Each structure stands twice: as C-alpha cells, then as structure tokens.
A and B are shown apart, each in its own frame.
Chain A
C-alpha cells in the first residue's frame, strides 16, 4: 500500500532494526514515547536480502548457531553408535533441508519482531535513512519513494556488513560472504573460506561438520584479539576434525571455470610459491565494515574514526552531535556483540526517557566462539594481562577425556584462569574450551562481575559429572612449568 509522505514528530527515531536498535526502540516505547524504527537491507552483491531483525537474527548468531547445531548433531550421530544406537550407514546430510528449516525459523523471527513493534506501538518504516539535518531523516523505500521524518532524538544502529577484498580480481563477482551463506538454497559444496576471524572459523567448522570439503585460508594468526593459546587449540581441533588449513597464504585472484567452479590462485608466504585449486564456493570472512555510507553523516557532522570508519561515541553513547546517539556494531571501541548492543540500547532509552543515569559497563563482557570445539571467555587473555603489566597467575588444566566411549576421538578441553598474584588473587580472566562453552562461562562472568577471587573459586564445590566442574581442580600455574595435562579420571 502507498504510504502518505507525511512529516511526523517523534521523540525517538532509530535507524537500524537490529539487536541494538529494536531493544532501544521498544524500551523507549515503554515510557510512553513516540518512537519509530527505520530498517532497510541493501542486498548483498550476490543479491541476498532479508527481513527485520538485523545481522544477529538474519545472517549472524541465530542461523550460525543453528547450523553449528546441525554439525554437532552429525557428531552426535557418530557418538550414538558407541552408545548402542544402531544406525544403518550411510548417513548423509542434505543442505536444502537444513537451510530451509533455518530460513523458516529466521522468517518467523522477522515476523515476531514486526508484531512486537506493533504491540509496543513503535512505527516501523522499511526505508533506507539518511540525514538531512540533525533532526531530520530522509527515508527512501525500495521503490524509490521518499518520506521525511523528524525526531527529537536519533539513534544510529545500522551495524556493519562483510568486507570484500576488492583488490583481488574476481572477489566481488564470484565470492560470497556470511550475508549469503545462510540463505543459499543449494549446498555450497567444496568451499574455501578466506579469513581467520571467528566468522571464518565458525562457518568453516559447521561446513566441515555437515560433510563438506572445507578449507580455511589465513594470512597470519587465527582469532586476532583472543587469547592465542586458546586460539591455536581451537584451530588444532578443527584440523583433526577435518577442516583443511592453508596457513600464511593469501589469495591473488578468483576466476570462473567452464565447469562453473571457481579457480583460486594464492601466494604461500612461507614457501614463496604460488598455488591454485578449484572450489564450488569461495566465502570471504575478512572483516566487517560499518554501514555508514548511506547515512550522509557529513551533512550533520557526526564524527567517525578515520581508520575504522566507525562512529565515535562517549560513555553515554552520544556522538559528536547533540541528540544523535549510536549503539551496536557501528560504534568505535565497542564489542561487536548482540547482548552488548541490546543492553546499551535499553540503558540509553532509560537515560533519555526514564530518569536513569546508569551507563553501560563494557568491562568483562563474556563471549563464545562456536567453532566445533567451542571457546568461551570473559575478561583478560594472557596477552592482555601482559600488556597491562599485571603480575598474574595463569592457571591451566588440559583434560583429555571428553568423549570417553569413543576411542577414535581425541578431544581435549581446557580451562584457563588469569588472576592477580597479589594476596586477594582477584580473577581477571577466565577461558574455557570444550562443549557447551557458552553455558559454562555465563555464570562465571557473573562471578567476575562480583569481584570473584581465585580462593572463592576454589571454595566452590563442583557439580559432578560435568565439564564445568573441572574449574574447581585448577591448581597448576603456567609459571610452575608443570605439566597441566590430565589424562581423564
């Protein structure tokens, strides 16, 4: 239906209907304010687009975790036989069945978000917004129809999109990104994932798990910014799990073959050679760029970081322009996580309309990487503690005893605690590699928020038998040089 081009006065206009944007809008509406949300998805270079909800719901956390689950279930099928379940071979996986189920669920979430906005009386515009002046947004629909919207306060929450390495010939024409992967109708087949981010490793992980020939190409270190010892345990496991790694390599060109396969040429920096191979799919996971281009920030003077392009904000999420705020992946120096965006959005709404003065606490935010062997962490890594010149203990436990009934599987898990050396031994960081890492770490993140110390941790009795209880057996410091491997009890 045609919408009347009318200028509306809103108390709050949110640009971007993702995790942060929707949380902020809904919270503001609770205070009886007039709120509107603009959401628009520019199709990917391959033409993929999706509904309301942002990255997390459509092309991030949700479909990622579901496909990761599909891969884990593949492992479960193998385990099951050792536990007495008779499953006739062969077992195989059909991409389209999984993709359809996942896509249907995501669509139900899109629908759910629209209903929620309606229930909370938040006005929703499926339009691409750009600034005309600090209080005015020009919204453009897909069909090119324009609507002008004005608001007292504006929150920018447009998030980010995957980067393309456009300097590589063929990258844009023939490669896909995470924006496309979860919406593929047909199996990606033999896949090359380029990148060393968690996006790269998580995707490569589940593709391997569902039986696809998968290779990861990394220029240098995996999971930059994460604890490097943990990162290498993650990649080592992936290798034993069947993912191929091309380490210290970078692609130089991508060409299409007659067979419709893609021929990738790359440089191996260790050997100084050039190599090629063909793949059905090439997926770029080389980082994400903030989605600010269409916003016309220059017109209002919202400052961005010259290096990253992200919007600079202060502790109250305010930009350089009064009444304009920013939250979520688009902001400089903040974790790119759904829960922090949601919390920041809610707190911002509470400060704007609810007489609260509580600022968002970005310290000790827990997170989990959903690789085949999951990695959950909160607080400082070993490297970060080093940089802080803190005198710390690094206490570790490696246990080789995960899947006890499967002799063919050599899975390890690992706990690492970083704590201050001084008397109290406050815990600075906690790391866990193993199954259900997110479930394990969540409660400990809370403990860290309460200022947990190492002695308090040791006073806590374990729950038996779980993986998490191993934390109560952490005694060996890295400093001691003793072997921290436990051969399963």
Chain B
C-alpha cells in the first residue's frame, strides 16, 4: 500500500527522469502532524483498517468462547497499546517510503509547495526557509483534509480523523458527527473496542451509496449498541472540564424544527466531509482552473488540467473517486503515457470499494437507485439473498443480517451492472467479482459458476 505519489515517482524515475516530490503536512487545529505517505497511510485506510481489525478481534474473542476457548470473563481493551502499535507500524511505512524514494533517486523535500509563476514553485519548510524550483511538468496530488462545522468550539475542542488515530489517550464516550463512511467506520470500531458511541446524523447515511444497504448497516450498528441521533446538527461545543479526555457539552438543533438537545461526551469526532487542498497552492498564479464551490480540479481523461504542463491525480479531482487504488492507478498510467509511450488511460468505471463498518460492505457498479434512474425499473432485475456465515452459527449471532444483491440489465443480456455484499471480509469477496464485472459478466455466467464451499462468497454464485 504505497501512496500514489510514490508509484508515480517510481515510474517516472524508472524512465530516468529527474523527479522531485514536495510533501508537507499542515498541523491539525489541535497540533497533530505526520510523516511521508499521505492520508491513506497516516490518517486513513491503514490505521482505520487496523483499528477495525482490533474491534473485529474483540468480537472474535467472544466467539472463541463458543468454540471451546476458555479465559477470564473480563477482557478489557487498552487504547494506548493499540495506538502505539499502529503508530509504530505507520512510522515504519513513512521510513520505507523515504528509503524507496532515495533508492529511486527521487529528490524529496519536506516543504509546502505553491506555484509562484509559470513552471515555478516555492517550497517552504517548517522553519520558514524558502526555495524555488522549476520543472518541465508538475503533478498536483495534495489530497484533502477534514472539514470543520464552523460553529463555536469546533476547532478548539473537536477532533477529526486526522487526530483520532494517534490520540494519546482513550477517547472515552464519543459523539461522532456525520454519516459518511469515515463517520460510520470510526463509530463502528470505537464501539467495538467497548466505548460508548453516539452518531449524530443530519439526514441520510452513506450518501451516494446504495441506500437499502446503507440502512442495513445503520440497523446493524444500532443493534450492536451504537446510538444514533437522527436529523440533528451541532450548533455549539463547550468545554465542561479539561482533561485527557476532558468533558464536552454539545448543543444540537433539529433539522426539522426548533428542538434543541444537549449531550455530554468525552470526545467529539467530526466526520462531515473533506475539503481539497487546492486553495492555497498558488493555482491562480499559473491559471489552473478549479471548481470554485468545491475546490476540486477538473481534468481531462488523461489527468491533465487546463494548463498543459500541469497534471493532477487523487482526491482533488472533480467527479472522480476518492480512493487510494484509483489514485495509484491513475498516477502510474499517467507517467507511463508521459515517458514510456503507453496509451492506457485509467478506467474509472466499475471501481470496487469497501466500507469497513462492523458489518462490512463491498460494492462494485451501480447502486439500486442509480440503476433504476439510468435504466428504468422495468429494465433491471435485482437478485438478492440474506445469508448466515457458517462461522457465526456456533456462536449463534446475527442470523440473517448478511446480505448479497446483484443488479442486472435485462436489455443487455442480463449483464451484471451492480454487485453488493454485506458481510464479513466483504473486500476480499468483492475484488474478484469486480474483475468479473470488468469482463462483462452476465447473470447466466454467474449462475454457471460453481461455488466454493463453505464460504460466504458462494451465496453470490
């Protein structure tokens, strides 16, 4: 799991181009920062999956008793032990990237880059020392950072995912604000570690994802002890008591009327969205157009901005997916086109993804709603099934919660246009189906494929 920039740079350096990378992390409002590697490695996919795994292991502990394992009744989780382990691993990745860049003779500067004129950037390091660099071509891959609410107390007292994974104390009773996958994944693992968790949702869960599945995910989380406060938004956060963690008072207003509620929490985690880091890097100085409203950069299908020698990849792209593997693929292919005479473009269609909520969700292709919208309800066929993983039978838990759904286009030979699975190891299950969708699989081919027994994935064939 190398960051996309790494891949790009390895590729470019392979073709003996002189390459430099500028990486800089502006500290969070609470002063948090991290090393080379970007969001995925430091404050995204990697620590998220490891903490999700910690929560899954908590469940495994309980299951194991039913499978004959015996140990003390009381098992507690130690946040510091986990966080230290996770941070050590991330540190080793940061180090690994620095070594890799060195080996590939890519110049690395830990400095904040911004355009100051055509073909010229100014790099400012954390001590304020400025240097100017020129290049034939530029690649912008600055990604995003969590958004704040813009209410009193948000930056002073709330944390974001940028702070959570290195928090030097257990967050305690936590309010997660938001309904994104970031919000639900974090709420999910915090609860799995034994914490009292509440999620405050303005409207719907997992906007943009299949809503039928999103609701099942929410139901599962509620069934497992996570509180949901629906249709409210925080309007003020106050500190009752300082501490690690302290005590905070959150005042929230209903989106449907004038009702005001109050709640007390140790930690408030904001997960309401992310903003592109494109507003303060001097794009106006070189004429790169951005979407003024969203801050995202529109590019053509070769990742080129409106300025021919400036390219962009990753989370900052307009109308593209905010995913590590997409960024990696786009970056790698871009460099191959620029320096190796290749012509392949990044295929942004049917990109699979997985939400690592307590009940995992893997998806590829259309959601049911978007399929209905695009093709018409009468032209699609939805095949679905609940299932009970064999491993959950002995501990007698969560019967009929797992679910798989396939959406087919009747007018195109019942081609599979949407794949959805809700269950354990959803990512592992979905990957192969994504490859099959890329090959244009039809329902008939799905039916004629033999299942592997006994695994969850066989329910899909």
Contact = CB atoms under 8 A, between A and B. Distances in A.
Contacts of B347: 459, 461
Interface string A277-292: 0000000000000000
B307 interface: no
Contacts of A62: 390, 454
Interface string B441-461: 100011011111111111011
A460 B435 contact: yes
A339 B453 contact: yes
A445 B448 CA distance: 11
A462 interface: yes
Interface string A47-62: 0000000001000011
B394 A101 contact: yes
B426 to A, nearest CB: 9
Contacts of B440: 450
Contact of A439 (B58, B75, B89, B457): B457
Contacts of B30: none
Contact of A77 (B53, B71, B427): B71
B64 A74 contact: yes
A376 B455 CA distance: 11
B351 interface: yes
Contact of B70 (A92, A99, A405): A92
B429 A447 contact: no
A76 B64 contact: yes
B458 to A, nearest CB: 6
A83 B57 contact: yes
Given A61-B453, A456-B439, A460-B438, A83 B67 contact: no
B56 to A, nearest CB: 8
Given A84-B77, A86-B75, A489-B2, A464 B45 contact: yes
Interface string A415-447: 000000000000000000000101111111111
A146 B82 CA distance: 66
A101 B65 CA distance: 11
B429 A443 contact: yes
B81 A84 contact: yes
A73 B85 contact: no
B432 A447 contact: yes
Interface in A145-197: none
B57 A463 contact: no
B68 A436 contact: no
A96 B67 CA distance: 10
A441 B70 CA distance: 33
Interface in A70-99: 70, 73-74, 76-77, 79-80, 82-88, 90-99
Contact of A451 (B1, B325, B439): B439
A interface SS class: helix
B460 A461 contact: no
Contacts of B439: 447, 450-453, 456
Contact of B393 (A105, A441, A449): A105
A196 to B, nearest CB: 22
B interface SS class: helix
A447 B435 contact: yes
Interface stretch (A299-307, A320-328, A380-388, A465-473): A465-473
A86 B325 contact: no
Report the contact-size class of chain B (Cβ under 8 Å from the partner).
Answer: 35 or more
Given A84-B77, A87-B61, A463 B432 contact: no
B93 interface: yes
B428 A340 contact: no
A69 interface: yes
Contacts of A465: 1, 45-46, 49, 427
Given A404-B89, A405-B50, A457-B435, A436 B96 contact: no
B157 to A, nearest CB: 25
A461 B45 contact: no
Contacts of B432: 440-447, 468
B329 interface: yes
B49 A438 contact: no
A65 interface: yes
Contacts of A105: 393-394
Interface in A210-268: 210
A66 interface: yes
Contacts of A368: 452, 455
Contacts of A101: 66-68, 394
**Most chain B beta carbons < 10 A, residue from A368, A404, A464:** A464
Contacts of B362: 463
B60 interface: yes
A366 interface: yes
23 contacts: A61-B453, A66-B391, A76-B60, A76-B61, A82-B81, A83-B82, A83-B85, A87-B75, A93-B69, A99-B68, A337-B450, A343-B450, A365-B450, A405-B89, A445-B452, A447-B439, A449-B441, A450-B445, A459-B347, A461-B329, A463-B354, A467-B428, A468-B427
Interface of A: 56, 61-62, 65-66, 69-70, 73-74, 76-77, 79-80, 82-88, 90-99, 101-102, 105, 210, 337-340, 343, 361, 365-368, 376, 404-405, 436, 438-447, 449-453, 456-457, 459-469, 471-472, 489
